[in-house]
Amino acid sequence: MQRKISCTIITYNEEDRIARCLNSVRDLVDEIIVVDSGSSDRTIEICKSFGAKCFHNAWVGYGQQKRFAEDLTAHDWILNLDADEWLTDKTRAQIQDLFRNKSDDEIYGYQFKIKQVYPGANKPRLLADYHLYIRLYNKNFCRFPDSAVFDEVKLDRKNMGFISGPIFHQSILSIRHLIDKNVKYYKLQSKEINKSHPSTIPRIAVEPFTVFFKYYLLKRHFTGGAYGFIVAATIAMLRTYRLIIISSSGKAKEDLPVR
């Protein structure tokens, strides 16, 4: 018997992008669980039109919100997506094949490449950067952490599979949105970090240059032309702002992805 999948999505005022996410999973999964934290737009209306089961939960944090969604699912296997993410046709086909056939009983979760898509585009730029995350997993063996800022499912390598089809992620709508989103996230992050470290303040002098180098060259935003340059420069500025915030409150986990 083919294993059943529950899809979980957390939302807040996502009417401009939630339909793309839902459309990419509605013929793939057996139920869609949406946990909304108080949308004032058409988010819930759109979700219900796709047959999603919608629930309200006041915002407490990323990890806690996703754990709340996990508890509402009817099936053991969960596909977690953010409202600004969607599956490609290749990814859908691979998941269908995987769950149609008997797979390794020791594999409890599958990693995907989460590929960034620029605002206004419908696919990643050439050589786009990506992050590896477990997004399809058995909730009996792993779950999201009970954390406001750290929302990543963890597994031992021996129990982890890989699906080569990507998940596309259009995390920002504009440069202004990139700034607002990360400022809000860093302020939330500062509440969960350890005590400050003496090296934090000296890092402020060099961080803008190292971060720009990392994003523009190593993460290949140079393939995005002028817009890629602006993105890399903005991220460098934001990381400096992050250091200023944590210089008086603690030291955050290194290399957190731009959300």
- Give CA separation, 164 vs 3, 70, 114, 150, in Å: 20, 24, 10, 24
State mean pLDDT over 86-113.
90
| Nearest residue to 182 (alpha-carbon basis) of 225, 135, 238, 226 | 238
The per-residue pLDDT for range 217-234, each reduced to its tens digit, is 999 999 999 999 999 999
Q: What is the reported pLDDT for 254?
A: 45
State mean pLDDT over 173-182.
86
Band of pLDDT at residue 190, cut at 50, 70 and 90:
low
State mean pLDDT over 156-184.
90
The DSSP string of 218-253 is IT-GGGGHHHHHHHHHHHHHHHHHHHHHHTTT-BPP
For the record, the structure tokens of 98 come out as 């995987």
| Nearest residue to 64 (alpha-carbon basis) of 155, 151, 138 | 151
What DSSP element (H or E) covers 210?
helix 200-213
**Given a cut of 90, is residue 103 above it in pLDDT?**
no
In sign, the C-alpha dihedral spanning 188, 192, 193, 194 is positive
Q: What is the reported pLDDT for 251?
A: 45
Contact 96, 37 (CB under 8 A): no
CA distance 256 to 236: 13
Q: What is the reported pLDDT for 189?
A: 64
Band of pLDDT at residue 101, cut at 50, 70 and 90:
confident
For the record, the structure tokens of 32 come out as 């869609």
CB environment 162-172: b (16+ within 10 A), e (fewer): ebeebbbbbbb
The per-residue pLDDT for range 1-43, each reduced to its tens digit, is 578 999 999 999 999 999 999 999 999 999 999 999 999 999 9
- For residue 47, count other CB atoms closer than 10 A to its CB: 26
State mean pLDDT over 165-189.
85
Candidate from 74-78, 175-179, 193-197 with smallest mean pLDDT: 193-197
Helices 225-246, 175-189: axis angle to 10 degrees equals: 20
Band of pLDDT at residue 255, cut at 50, 70 and 90:
very low
The per-residue pLDDT for range 114-125, each reduced to its tens digit, is 999 999 899 999
CA distance 177 to 172: 6
157: DSSP letter? G
Strand 77-80 relative to strand 85-87, pairing: unpaired
Average pLDDT across the chain, whole number: 88
How remote is the C-alpha of 220 from its chain's centroid?
20
pTM: 0.84
Q: What is the reported pLDDT for 102?
A: 65
**Given a cut of 70, is residue 183 above it in pLDDT?**
yes
